[in-house]
Amino acid sequence: MRKAQVHAACQALAALTILWVGTQTSLAAPSFDCRKAKTAVEKEICAKKRLGDIDRAMAKAYPNALARLGEDPKAVAALKTSQRLFLTTRNVQFVPHLGGDYDLEQHMAAQLDLLRSIGPDPRKGLEGEWKTTEGTLFIGRPASSGLRPVNISSRTHDSKQWTCEFLGEARGDGDTLVVEGRDKYRKDYAGWRLKISRDGRMATVETVRPEGLERGGAPFCGMNGSLAGDYFPADELPDNPCAGIPAGQCRE
């Protein structure tokens, strides 16, 4: 082979090497080894950089959130349950090539947002924003009437996407509120109410049926939807990602 041909071949090989390296750096880098990916959802995360980035961020955010809740064993247990439910739903609902309304990226982003929003400081009372993977709860300051605005909504991340929304108001302070529909919603909700109470670091929501009504679903929820459950305090992210985490336990 002539020198010119050898030189051209070397240049072509160098170009291919640069292209290969560039391609590799743009691939997903999740928290697990993609060479060992077996399930459809793991392979999808490895195939898309955005999903890999979220997965890697979640692997750091989850232990940090647990550490911030460390003084409240019930809250720690609730967050572990939330993470298991997220993984189970993700693995079951992601079925490639069969259509459906399940949005893997949206579901992963919602769980990451929950984990990152759990702040370092215990909150006093019920005022403020609270979150689960599926919903948000907002309890405002009392108006001049003494009534607090309460907005709560949820949407499941499975393919059915059942939704709920309750726009209400509650009187009083302390660690327990009974919420009724406000304005025109009072009639729409037909006597259904919510009971919200503090339970350690969390806010627990219960659905209260009208007296004498034993069957039927709440008018503010789609079939099988629910607002009941434990909601975690949602705070602004601290500048220091290790704020509120015991020394040696933070994953940056």
At 194-210, the pLDDT tens digits run 999 999 999 999 999 99
Average pLDDT (157-163) is: 76
Question: In this model, does residue 22 exceed pLDDT 80?
Answer: no
Say yes or no: 101 and 183 in one domain: no
The per-residue pLDDT for range 80-118, each reduced to its tens digit, is 999 999 999 999 989 876 657 789 999 999 999 999 999
Q: Name the band, by pLDDT with cuts 50, 70 and 90, for residue 41.
A: very high
Say yes or no: 202 and 129 in one domain: yes
Helices (H), 27-151: 40-47, 49-68, 73-93, 104-117
What residue numbers bound the domain in which 212 lies? 122-237
**Secondary structure of residue 214 in the 3-state scheme:** coil
pLDDT at 101: 79
Say yes or no: 96 and 157 in one domain: no
Say yes or no: 107 and 160 in one domain: no
Say yes or no: 143 and 205 in one domain: yes
Say yes or no: 130 and 232 in one domain: yes
pTM comes to 0.79
pLDDT at 238: 53
Answer with the one of 118, 146, 170 that is the final residue of a domain. Answer: 118
Answer with the one of 88, 118, 148 that is the final residue of a domain. Answer: 118
Which residue has better confidence, 157 or 131? 131
Answer with the one of 63, 88, 118 that is the final residue of a domain. Answer: 118
Residue 122: Cβ-neighbour burial (10 angstroms; 0-12, 13-18, 19+): middle
How many angstroms separate the CA atoms of 137 and 124, rounded? 16
Contacts of 7 (CB under 8 A, 6+ apart): none
pLDDT at 221: 92
The token pair at 157 is 């991340």
How many other CB atoms sit within 10 Å of the CB of residue 81? 12
The token pair at 169 is 């108001």
